[in-house]
């Protein structure tokens, strides 16, 4: 089937009262040529990258796979079985600039690979993080250059860890060495950032009171658009908008439940789901929608905060997370760390499967996305920054070689991986922080 000569713009937006909905990539947005021939070029141009941070290291005995392939996944990584062909595990990476060793520097060095200035005041200094370098190159044509997300309220100020200001622990992303970017943990605020169309917070709340859903305000626009596209595109539009509607319903349910909970978790914003997993799934789903609608192409997500005392009774870990990570090689504490590791990985695995199940340009969202998942700390008992838990997932438009376990015999800068991924999404840097090479074995050498 030939696509009409006058294609829809990729920037087509449905506008209503206080709402603006970007659309997924439709066949009608690909210029006049056969769809089967157009999709490879379209896929190659879809460059997206995400970064997910987990705190306080890992239990290596339960994480590191045996062998050089992922034929048999380790217990902590077992939830990734359905997507392991689009996954690589890297063992032996380090962050030398995170030393002398702290929770604050684990977090701050993860995306910057830079040494934080030790200060308890506002004269903090770090380095521009890789997500923001990517945003300056691939985020200029999207509604949001980047999206910064977290799971916890980051309200602490002053000195948080061994003489380091709390800003280092609170913020993953820095747009310059002196400009940390705050993250957002509240799904409603993220939702309205993605789909709201201006106005003050009070005006948006009033608009919401007048209708059950943001989508209700664009009903007429949807009807007009669907008359211009074919059956396949109509199905894509319906599926995308229903996904948005379902996320909004879940946010509304969480907000309604919060009214009956006078004593929320102090680390959890009021109005988010009571269960950690439900909150995390919402934040992951918002990332999927942001990528699908090309609202942003760069995301950072702090899945839990360094020194977090969050408990996980739902997986049999009622103890606060931070104290158990000072394990002293006690088997029972190491077992609990492994459970938390596996739980966090399971949420990431669900998200990757959702990306893989979302069609786009002859493939899936996962095919056209790269995610780096890991921690800036290795052994939490020692507060060291070597042998970090690092995963890379995605397709990179078909060029990533998945199913692999890449081991380094000597400590290798995490900056090498950052540089490689930046290059892969179209950022032409020759070096980054303390990099001394690239990780070319992650990708098909023919298509590098």
Q: What is the DSSP letter of 122?
A: S
Q: Which CATH number fits domain 47-185+299-447: 3.40.720, 3.30.10, 2.60.40, 3.40.50?
A: 3.40.720
205 vs 348, higher pLDDT: 348
pLDDT score recorded for residue 359: 92
Mean pLDDT of 86-107: 95
The predicted pLDDT at position 263 comes to 43
Report whether pLDDT(224) > 70: yes
Please give the full DSSP string across 409-426, using - where no structure is assigned. EEEEEHHHHHHHHHHHTT
pLDDT at 14 > cutoff 90: no
The H or E element containing residue 15 is: strand 13-16
Confidence of residue 37 (pLDDT cuts 50, 70, 90): very low
Q: Which residue has the tokens 């609170």?
A: 170
Average pLDDT over residues 397-401: 78
- Of 418, 148, 379, the C-alpha closest to 283 is 148
- Higher per-residue pLDDT: 273 or 258: 273
- CA separation for the pair 273, 314 (Å, rounded): 14
Helix (H) or strand (E) holding 386: none
Q: What is the maximal distance between C-alpha atoms in the chain? A: 67
| DSSP secondary structure code for residue 107 in this structure | H
| Positive/negative CA dihedral, 268, 273, 279, 284 | negative
pLDDT digits (tens, 9 = 90+) for 322-350: 999 999 999 999 999 999 999 999 999 99
pLDDT digits (tens, 9 = 90+) for 244-257: 989 988 988 887 87
| pLDDT at residue number 43 | 47
CA–CA gap between residue 218 and residue 403 (Å, rounded): 43
Where does residue 174 fall: left (phi above 0), alpha (psi -120 to 50 degrees), or beta otherwise? beta
Mean pLDDT rounded to a whole number for the chain: 87
Strand-pair category, 19-22 with 390-394:
unpaired
| CA–CA distances in Å: residue 445 to residues 187, 400, 421 | 40, 9, 14
The pLDDT score that the predictor gives to residue 412 is 97
What per-residue confidence (pLDDT) applies to 153? Answer: 72
Instruction: With beta carbons less than 8 A apart as the criterion, state whether 31 and 7 touch.
Output: yes
Query: Which region among 64-73, 92-101, 268-277, 383-392 has the lowest average model confidence (pLDDT)?
Result: 268-277
| Strand 159-161 with 147-150, pairing | unpaired
Residue 36 structure tokens: 């089967």
Of 122, 98, 124, the C-alpha closest to 111 is 98
d(CA 355, CA 352): 5
Compute the distance between CA of residue 175 and CA of residue 127 in angstroms, rounded to an integer: 8
% the chain with pLDDT above 90: 66
Find all residues with CB under 8 Å of 313, minimum gap 6, and list them: none
- Residues forming a β-bridge with 412: 93
Tokens of 413: 């800068």
Asked if 277 and 250 touch (Cβ cutoff 8 Å), the reply is no
For the chain, which residues make up each domain, given as ranges?
Answer: 1-45+190-271, 47-185+299-447
Please state which of the ranges 11-15, 283-287, 419-423 shows the lowest mean pLDDT.
Answer: 11-15
Read off the pLDDT band of 370 (50, 70, 90).
Answer: very high
The predicted-structure confidence for 98-156, as pLDDT tens digits, reads as follows: 998 899 999 999 999 999 999 988 899 999 999 999 999 999 989 999 999 999 876 55
Is pLDDT above 60 for 56?
A: yes
Give the span between the Cα atoms of 252 and 51, in whole angstroms.
27
Q: What distance in Å separates the CA atoms of residue 371 and residue 48, rounded to the nearest whole number?
A: 8
* pLDDT surpasses 70 at 318: yes
> From the DSSP assignment, how many helices (H) and strands (E) are in the chain?
13, 15
Phi, psi of 313 (to 5 degrees): -60, -25
pLDDT (mean) for 208-234:
80
- Over the stretch 272-295, which tens digit does the pLDDT of each residue have? 888 999 999 999 999 999 999 999
Q: Are 22 and 293 in contact (CB under 8 A)?
A: yes
Residue 401, CA atoms < 13 Å, CB-side half-sphere: 16
Residue 262: pLDDT over 80: no
Q: pLDDT by residue (tens digit) across 424-440?
A: 999 999 999 999 999 98
Distance CA 434, CA 114 (A): 8
pLDDT at 5: 44
Q: 64 — phi, psi (to 5°)? A: -70, 125
For residue 33, the model assigns a pLDDT of 37
CA dist., res. 22 & res. 104, Å (int)? 37
Cα 291 to chain center, whole Å? 11
Confidence tier at 423 by pLDDT (50, 70, 90): very high
Beta bridge partners of 52: 301, 373
């Amino acid at each position: 089937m030939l696509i009409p000569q006058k294609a829809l713009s990729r920037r087509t937006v449905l506008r209503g009262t206080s709402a603006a909905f970007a659309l997924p990539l439709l066949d009608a947005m690909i210029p006049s040529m056969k769809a089967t021939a157009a999709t490879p070029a379209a896929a190659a141009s879809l460059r997206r990258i995400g970064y997910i941070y987990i705190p306080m290291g890992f239990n290596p005995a339960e994480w590191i796979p045996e062998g050089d392939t992922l034929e048999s996944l380790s217990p902590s990584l077992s939830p990734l079985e359905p997507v392991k062909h689009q996954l690589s595990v890297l063992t032996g990476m380090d962050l030398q600039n995170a030393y002398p060793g702290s929770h604050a520097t684990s977090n701050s060095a993860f995306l910057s690979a830079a040494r934080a200035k030790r200060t308890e005041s506002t004269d903090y200094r770090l380095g521009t993080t890789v997500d923001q370098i990517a945003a300056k190159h691939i985020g200029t044509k999207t509604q949001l250059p980047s999206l910064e997300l977290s799971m916890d309220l980051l309200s602490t100020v002053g000195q948080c860890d061994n003489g380091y200001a709390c800003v280092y622990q609170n913020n993953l992303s820095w747009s310059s060495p002196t400009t940390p970017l705050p993250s957002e943990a509240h799904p409603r605020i993220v939702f309205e950032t993605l789909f709201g169309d201006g106005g003050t917070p009070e005006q948006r709340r009033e608009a919401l009171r007048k209708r059950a859903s943001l989508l209700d305000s664009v009903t007429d626009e949807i009807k007009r658009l669907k008359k211009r596209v074919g059956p396949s595109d109509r199905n894509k539009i319906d599926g995308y908008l229903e996904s948005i509607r379902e996320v909004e319903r879940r946010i509304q349910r969480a907000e309604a439940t919060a009214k009956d909970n006078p004593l929320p978790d102090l680390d959890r914003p009021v109005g988010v789901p009571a269960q950690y997993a439900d909150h995390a799934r919402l934040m992951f789903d918002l990332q999927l929608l942001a990528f699908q609608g090309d609202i942003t192409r760069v995301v950072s997500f702090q899945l839990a905060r360094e020194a977090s005392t969050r408990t996980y009774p739902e997986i049999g870990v009622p103890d606060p997370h931070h104290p158990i990570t000072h394990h002293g090689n006690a088997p029972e504490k190491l077992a609990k760390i492994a459970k938390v590791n596996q739980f966090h990985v399971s949420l990431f695995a669900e998200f990757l499967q959702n990306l893989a199940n979302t069609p786009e340009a002859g493939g899936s969202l996962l095919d056209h996305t790269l995610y780096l998942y890991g921690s800036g700390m290795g052994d939490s008992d020692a507060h060291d920054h070597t042998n970090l838990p690092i995963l890379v997932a995605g397709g990179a438009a078909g060029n990533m070689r998945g199913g692999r376990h890449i081991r380094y015999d000597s400590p290798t800068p995490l900056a090498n991986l950052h540089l490689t991924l930046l290059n892969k999404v179209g950022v032409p840097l020759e070096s980054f922080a303390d990099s001394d090479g690239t990780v070319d074995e992650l990708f098909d050498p023919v298509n590098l």
